Chain A
């Protein structure tokens, strides 16, 4: 009887203190997430402009209809970000994997120095890095075009041609690969040595070892990184804003969903319509997350089936 009471006492004590300690998050979640999410959903059915709150009116599904049927820019911006993702994700992942494999090689001299130098550009403030890349991509005075011209090729309109813009944006983003490189490197170091030895005994060359051992063993790390990258790409904002103030130049190609959201909600203060765009961003991200988790069993290899 006393024992039970004491156990109850401990339980109540744990309950009380547990809730006290997580209170900051509970309050923050309610005020900054739960409430706003509900409100954002309600806003999406109103014509609501922060500057003229008296003109707020219920418009039912008008905003949703506008986003999906009347305003082609929303769908276009989604198509653009998907297109950009398809280009930038494979390039930056291959690059990161290549660097990680080199850094992991037992033949590399000065490993620590190389690792630090490959990570260093990740420390450059993002806006500064965009401005530096903008400089080197300058059509007249930038080094890229000067190098091309010296080699006898015509210069490229890096940031102004619809053909090159996503490649250029991918290059600008490549300095952000430092984290991915380090995560891949740690993943590589986690591959058991015996697997390589067994493959070598079976006569596999280094390319075959990469394909049959390294990459399958790395799929959990790749999975995690694809997920994080897709989520952050859905909110891609800084580069197009810094380079041309979110104008979408060239030809609306850099008018990504977050940029359009920002313009509608915070330049025109169309907050009801902005809320719809926000939910579209949410749903597209959600679909991607679900696809990734749904196909996980097909391509992600968990050693020993441990989760």
Chain B
């Protein structure tokens, strides 16, 4: 075997394994698409085709008659529409030639094979959209995600700048505490924080979800600081000689250099907020008009647990915007993960 041949074989094997693994990996997504396009009857029907199908029908004398594959004496099967169902014999017509009259066939029609035709239930999407009031969920989620992304970027940049560019007493101790808060389970602070928000009447409003993000997030500060440390200090000094104060230096010198990491941090936060389930559940319970997508979806699935097709349709709708963001900002996502995960 030549080297070239063995290389081709390796390429083939590796690519096939990867393709198989990928198919398994995204199989549930394919199920979701399939399930969202079926009706409740199609889902529980014995026809398990992934492509939504219904039994073909033929309109005969103003009545929809199901079409079955009826075996003939010569062994072939002919699609015929059933007109009158009987126990041991039924009456059919030939949909291609209905004028030829009714045909009586001896045998049990229940044992006959049906003729199927594709039948997508796009109406599920419309029904699901209306039932969860998706537009409202979407607006709420977008509002929450955008305003807190702004808040955390604004405050975390300031704090990261403070930690990376200025010497002050206790800096390294403060930074250590900041890192420690990353691994602190939120449960430990939750009850008093909730109590405060309850006492000042903020429970049931957006405020407890938004305000804390304007006080910097430890993880974001860490990432931004790492990036800022890589910017040469001479640049700040040059700016200072040109008469820039520390704030002007931040937005004229440091920020333009940090754009990629700011975008990564912003995207990660945006995505986190888009998914946030715990905080809205805690602070918005009982206020459906303020629910984000996460709570709206889970409430819907609890209420309509038997309507799998609608639950799947709504889940698919929820994927659309994140997928679009992914396609547009793929580079920032994938690079951001690597920066945050490896360079620690």
CB within 8 Å of B: which residues of A?
11, 14-15, 17-22, 24-29, 31-33, 35-37, 39-40, 43, 50, 98-99, 102-103, 105, 107-110, 114-121, 123-129, 131-136, 138, 140-143, 146, 174-175, 178-179, 182-183, 185-187, 190, 221, 224-225, 227, 231, 234-235, 237-238, 241-242, 245, 258, 261, 265-266, 271, 274-275, 277-279, 281-282, 285, 289
CA distance A224 to B341 in the complex (A): 8
Closest chain A residue, CB of each to CB of B14: A107
Where chain A touches its partner, the secondary structure class is helix
Q: A125, B297: Cβ atoms under 8 Å?
A: yes
B169 within 8 A of A: yes
* Complex A-B: 16 CB contacts under 8 Å: A21-B159, A24-B214, A25-B218, A27-B215, A33-B184, A36-B189, A36-B190, A39-B192, A132-B28, A132-B32, A136-B27, A227-B183, A234-B185, A241-B277, A241-B298, A282-B184
Complex alpha-carbon distance, A27 and B187, angstroms: 20
CB pair B7 A107 closer than 8 Å: yes
Smallest CB separation, B33 vs chain A (Å):
9
Q: Which residue on chain B has the smallest CB distance to residue A244?
A: B302
- Among listed B51-59, B117-125, B308-316, interface-contacting one: B308-316
A35 touches B161 (CB 8 A): no
* Contact status B35-A135, CB under 8 Å: yes
User: Which residues of A are found within 8 Å of B22, using beta-carbon distances?
Assistant: 114, 117-118
Asked whether B298 lies within 8 Å of A127 as measured between CB atoms, the reply is yes
Binary per-residue interface labels of chain B (317-344) against chain A in the complex, 1 for a CB within 8 Å, 0 otherwise: 0110011011000100110011001101
B205 CB–A CB distance under 8 Å = no
Contacts of B25 in A (CB 8 A): 118, 121, 174-175
With A117-B22, A132-B31 in contact, is A127–B7 under 8 Å at CB? Answer: no
Given A32-B193, A50-B195, A115-B334, A123 and B326 contact (CB-CB distance below 8 Å): yes
Q: Report whether A136 and B31 are in contact in the complex, using a CB–CB cutoff of 8 Å.
A: yes
- The CA of A141 and the CA of B195, in the complex, are separated in Å by 45
Indicate which residue in A25, A132, A227, A281 contacts B187 across the interface (CB closer than 8 Å). A281
Of the candidates A36, A131, A143, the one having the most CB atoms from chain B within 10 angstroms of its own CB is: A131
CB pair A235 B186 closer than 8 Å = yes
Is B109 part of the binding interface, using a Cβ–Cβ cutoff of 8 Å?
Answer: no
Nearest-neighbor residue (CB-CB) of A21 within chain B: B162
A127 to chain B, nearest CB (A): 5
- Shortest beta-carbon distance from B341 to chain A in Å: 4
B166 in contact with A14 (CB, 8 Å):
yes
Residues on B with beta carbons closer than 8 Å to the beta carbon of A18: 162-163, 165-168, 171
> How far, in whole Å, are A165 and B260 apart by their CA atoms in the complex?
41
